[in-house]
Amino acid sequence: MIVLGVDTSSESLMVSLIDDKRILANCNSIGTLKHSSLLFPAIQKSLKKIKAAPDDIDLLAVGLGPGSFTGLRVGITSMRGLAIALNKPIIGVPTMDAIAENGFYCLRRGGLLDRINKVCVILDAKKSQVYACSYAWDGMKIARVTGYLLEPIDKLSKKLRGKILFIGNGVDIYKDALLGLKRVEASFGGKASWIPKASTIARIGLEDFMKGKTDNPYKLVPMYLYGHDCNVKRN
């Protein structure tokens, strides 16, 4: 089963093809902000690497954000159109879930997972607020332990305690504030881990699909957490 994963929530365009067991191809453009002109060439390049055609794709997975308004519109609208044209299933994946996976990978790689089992994704939401979501490792899997939040950093801080790895571009702005929290022992993921991987988007989408989940390609919208915007709720 071939899964196409795409994320356009950040300045970087991320495209990946995976199957049930491995990554088949990656085609990423880091920090370009040219998603509208590069997305389909990147998909075509990825398919060419594995000598496949668009119709060989079995499932499409796309990052829902939150993130760049324009980037999300480009990615989700393009993937919706492709799903409809190819008559293939599509699944939207909250981008913070993919970034959290980066955090737990860093902890495992550093041999720290037995000491730090919490990850908090914080993304700059402008207007002195952050998008945030907290996750924990229960020894078997990653579990989301909060909703997808939009709030000032001081309000978020009141909900946090213990040893936590913070990850995401909000770290750039709020690192000092997080280091000053009395109930929190803060660690931070490096900038390379702030970018959601399309291969992770694809894998999460495949896991959801195997559980019987799919999204309606005509109704799939970005995850916006501001009240006047569209908002996707994931249970």
Is the pLDDT reported for residue 232 higher than 90?
Answer: no
pLDDT at 226: 67
- pLDDT > 90 fraction of the chain, expressed in percent and rounded: 85
Bridging pattern class, strands 162-167 and 13-18: unpaired
Whether the CB-CB separation of 209 and 28 falls below 8 Å is answered with no
pLDDT at 172: 94
Element (H, E) at 176: helix 171-179
**Phi, psi (deg, nearest 5) at residue 110:** -85, 0
- Which alpha helices (DSSP H) does 110-162 contain, by range? 153-157
Tokens of 173: 């702005």
pLDDT at 33: 74
Q: Enter the pTM of the model.
A: 0.92
| Residue 64 lies in domain | 3-94+195-210
Tokens of 115: 């000491």
Position 142 confidence tier, pLDDT thresholds 50, 70, 90: very high
pLDDT digits (tens, 9 = 90+) for 45-75: 999 999 999 999 999 999 999 988 899 999 9
Among candidates 136, 138, 141, 124, which has minimal Cα distance to 163? 136
pLDDT digits (tens, 9 = 90+) for 118-140: 999 999 998 889 999 999 998 88
pLDDT digits (tens, 9 = 90+) for 150-207: 999 999 999 999 999 999 999 999 999 999 999 999 999 999 999 999 999 999 999 9
What domain count does the chain have?
2
- In a shared domain, residues 24 and 77: yes
Answer with the residue of higher pLDDT: 150 or 31: 150
Whether the CB-CB separation of 102 and 197 falls below 8 Å is answered with yes
- In a shared domain, residues 21 and 72: yes
Tokens of 40: 């389909």
Q: How far apart are alpha carbons 59 and 90 in whole angstroms?
A: 6
pLDDT at 19: 96
Q: How far apart are alpha carbons 12 and 18 in whole angstroms?
A: 19
What's the CATH code of the domain at 152? 3.30.420.40
Q: Is residue 224 part of a domain?
A: no
The strand pairing partners of 190, in sequence order, are none
Q: Is residue 219 part of a domain?
A: no
pLDDT at 139: 84
